[in-house]
Amino acid sequence: MQKHGLRGMLIGLVVIGFGSLGYADYPPEVSGLRIDEVQYSEDPIGTSPHHQSFVDTMGGIVTHIEGFRIYLQDPNEMDGWGAICIKDFSLDGALGDLQAGDWVGLTDVYVYEKRETTFLEYEEKWDNTDPENPVRLNPNLGFVVGTSDDPVPTPVGLTAADLAAPIEDPVDFWNVVDRHSEPYESMIVTLQDVTVGAMGLGKADDNYVLSDGTGSAWASDYLQTPEGWPDEPYFDPRIETGLHLDSVTGIVEQYYKQRDTYGWDYYQLLTRTPDDIVVPEPGTVSLLLVGLVLAGRRRRAAQLDR
Ligand SMILES: [Ca+2]
Ligand SMILES: [Ca+2]
């Protein structure tokens, strides 16, 4: 019995050990809410419970910077809710020196939903109700870089169904069926083996459909501004209906807008660079075709053997 008890204890220790593998310690310099505590929501449209309030957050690792948008991922929350985007509205661009791999924590930063994507607005906020005596609402606004050599978390592999595209019902109203994609907001994710479907969708006519065996998702290239791309419609020039892609990687954003005559509520994968769209090498397609032909022959041979 004693032996079993000891073995059980050892197994327990091993399980605890494995359970902590892959988890990063929060840098001692950061404090406050975890990103998932800012993001997690059971609201019908996904609004953060901290919308329009100031928070301190332990933040996460910078995964991507696009202009004044800085995306953070908590490496301990890779299953969902663990990413968020900072908008650096500060006059001095205080966050301008940040780089991918920096762990950033923030204090007294304003949580704001823009089109139902949750942002941390980094700027001084003032109550100007009395113009003679404006009151600074977030006097402790600040940030700290905890560590600067963290590996940028690997994009999370999802299926198209995980990022389910909206459906049109009735005409000109495009809404998601449910909120199961909300946890992926602002995360870097990747879809593999997808085929481009309809194009020119969404609020800016710049969304295209990506389908795999599980369903369809929406993507857009609007975060990118490479030279030589057409103004309208705005897509990576390689994208065309029917094109098969090895993978598409990007950041998830929700877009939400409801009016009397139309409505939008959808999640979109936003590519960061042309490298995020991986088109199969011509040789790969040839090998795939050879493989299909051989498989077809084998099937036919098996049928003839019956
Ligand atoms: Ca949202
Ligand atoms: Ca959110």
Quick one: which ligand is closest to 48's CA? 2
Least confident of 7-16, 78-87, 229-238: 7-16
How far, in Å, is the centroid of ligand 1 from the Cα of 182? 6
Q: 156-284 belongs to which CATH class?
A: mainly beta
Quick one: which ligand is closest to 41's CA? 2
Confidence of residue 229 (pLDDT cuts 50, 70, 90): confident
Quick one: which ligand is closest to 45's CA? 1
Q: Is the pLDDT of residue 17 over 90?
A: no
CA distance 74 to 24: 9
How far, in Å, is the centroid of ligand 1 from the Cα of 118? 6
Phi and psi dihedrals of 212, rounded to 5?
A: -130, -165
Least confident of 18-32, 70-84, 125-139, 239-253: 18-32
pLDDT at 150: 86
How far, in Å, is the centroid of ligand 2 from the Cα of 306? 57
**pLDDT top residue among 125 and 291:** 125
The string of pLDDT tens digits covering residues 156-194 is 999 999 999 999 999 999 999 999 999 999 999 999 999
pTM of the model: 0.84
CA distance 141 to 246: 43
How far, in Å, is the centroid of ligand 2 from the Cα of 249? 20
CATH architecture entry for 27-145: Beta Barrel (2.40)
**pLDDT top residue among 3 and 219:** 219
Confidence of residue 292 (pLDDT cuts 50, 70, 90): low
Measured CA distances, 114 to 87, 148, 159 (Å): 11, 29, 26
Quick one: which ligand is closest to 120's CA? 2
How far, in Å, is the centroid of ligand 1 from the Cα of 91? 27
Quick one: which ligand is closest to 254's CA? 1
Confidence of residue 286 (pLDDT cuts 50, 70, 90): low
CA distance 198 to 218: 10
- For 193-235, what is the HEC assignment? EEEEEEEEECCCCCEEEEEECCEEEEEECCCCCCCCCCCCCCC
Quick one: which ligand is closest to 83's CA? 2
How far, in Å, is the centroid of ligand 1 from the Cα of 254? 5
How far, in Å, is the centroid of ligand 2 from the Cα of 253? 9
Ranges for all domains in the chain classified under CATH 2.40.50: 27-145, 156-284
